[in-house]
Amino acid sequence: MRVVRSIPIRRSRRAWAALLVALALCLLAPTSASARGSDAPLLECTGTVKQTYTPGLHVLPRFVTYRGTIEYSNCVGDVEITSATYRETLEYFASCTANGGPSEATIRWNNGQASELKVVGVEADVVGNVQVFTSVGKVVSGRYSGHAVNIITALPKLSSLADCLTPSGLTEVQGSSTLTIVGL
């Protein structure tokens, strides 16, 4: 005859209840962004952008030299970084209606360090009288290397489009920008 030992039900229920409480506490406990691996921003900066085109942009595409400079003066999230300057220069075919694409840029931080960015996607939307460009990419070297970057630039729509019809074309536009460096 075989004897089977049983575990008392009370003890088994208590063990399961303790396990469930411990699991719930682990799931609900706050963790840092780096511990979670989330895409919480490491750094956010706001500033002003100036873009120049030589020769000016027209309605039809032509070969231009583009220079973009963004002066970020309000950076939060990293105590070492309070400001930065973003610069890029491109030579490509562009027009007032087809502008933007993959690029590389350099950011010089206020602490003397730099970052090289590769921007791989640009999306343009019109919100009221403003053109909003969202650029996404990655920091490929320097400070924040390996992290994702998101740059949102807002430029006035009405005045810039009128310039596209002049003989000299659209040669300069200014607006605002937000830079976000996202955690790994």
Q: Which residues of 152-173 are buried (b: 16+ CB within 10 A; e: fewer)?
A: bbbbebeebeebbeeeebbeeb
Give the pLDDT band of residue 11 (cuts 50, 70, 90).
Answer: very low
The H-or-E segment that residue 74 falls in is strand 62-76
Global confidence as pTM: 0.75
What integer is the mean pLDDT of 82-86? 98
pLDDT at position 159? 62
54, 64 contact by CB (below 8 A): yes
Q: What was the pLDDT predicted at 18?
A: 36
Tell me the per-residue pLDDT of 114-160, one tens digit each, with 9 for 90 and over.
999 998 767 777 878 888 888 999 999 999 999 999 999 998 875 66
